[in-house]
Amino acid sequence: MKSPTDTDSFLSEDGRVEVVFDLDELADSNIELVMKSAVAGLDSEQFEGPDHITVMITGDERIRELNRDFKGEDEITDVLSFNVEDDENDSGDDEWPEMGDSSESEEEPNRLGDIAISLPQVVRQAAENGKSADRELAMLTIHGVLHLLGYDHAEIDEEKVMFGKTDVVLAKLNL
C-alpha cells in the first residue's frame, strides 16, 4: 500500500489540472474523467484569476485524516476543497495538505487550490443514489471546483445555484 505522500501524477493537456492518487491503482478512465470534469468545471465560469488545481483521488483513511485535520470533522467524507486564498487568510496552525508535485507551491500565481476525493465513498454514494460511479466521480469533481471558485451551499439559495451549475456542467459532459 502506498503512503499518503507516495502518489502518481497526471497533468491535463492545458496544464491547469493535475490528478494525483495515492491508491494502489486507479483506472486510466477515472483519471481522464476527473481531468475532463475539472476542466469543464473551470471552463463553466468566466473566471478571471488563478485556475490551476490539483485533484487527489484517495481512500477513506486519507480523506478522514484530511477532514479531521483541516475541517475539524473526524469522519469520512466524499470531497474536500482547499482554496489557496482561504489558506493565506487562515491564521490557524494547520499546514497546507501536500497533494501534488512538491515543486509547485500554493504561492504559485495561477494556483487556485486542491481537491481531495475518496474513491471508496464515491462508489458507496453512487450505489446508494442509483447512479453510476463515473457520474458520481464527475459530479464531486465539479462540486470541488465550484467550491474553489467561491460557491457554497450552506444556505438554500446558495445550494440551488451551486447544484444547478453542477447539473449544467454534468449535462455538457453527457453524464
Q: What pLDDT digit, counting tens, does each position of 113-129 carry?
A: 999 999 999 999 999 99
Residue 1 maps to a domain? no
Residue 2 maps to a domain? no
Residue 106 is predicted with a pLDDT of: 46
- The closest of 51, 7, 8, 13 to 32, measured between CA atoms, is 13
Q: What is the mean pLDDT of the chain?
A: 86
Residue 3 is predicted with a pLDDT of: 42
- Indicate the burial class of 87 (C-beta count within 10 angstroms; 0-12, 13-18, 19 or more): middle
- The closest of 127, 138, 149 to 173, measured between CA atoms, is 138
Residue 86 maps to a domain? yes
Residue 84 maps to a domain? yes
Give residue 54's domain range: 8-172
Residue 143 maps to a domain? yes
Q: What is the pTM of this model?
A: 0.85
Low-confidence ranges of the chain (pLDDT < 50): 1-4, 89-95, 102-106
Residue 2 is predicted with a pLDDT of: 40
> Cα–Cα distance between 143 and 162 in angstroms, integer?
8
| CATH code for the domain of 129 | 3.40.390.30
Residue 135 is predicted with a pLDDT of: 97
Residue 92 maps to a domain? yes
The C-alpha cell that represents 72 in the structure block: 475539524
Q: How many domains would you assign to the chain?
A: 1
Residue 153 maps to a domain? yes
Residue 3 maps to a domain? no
- The closest of 87, 86, 117 to 99, measured between CA atoms, is 117
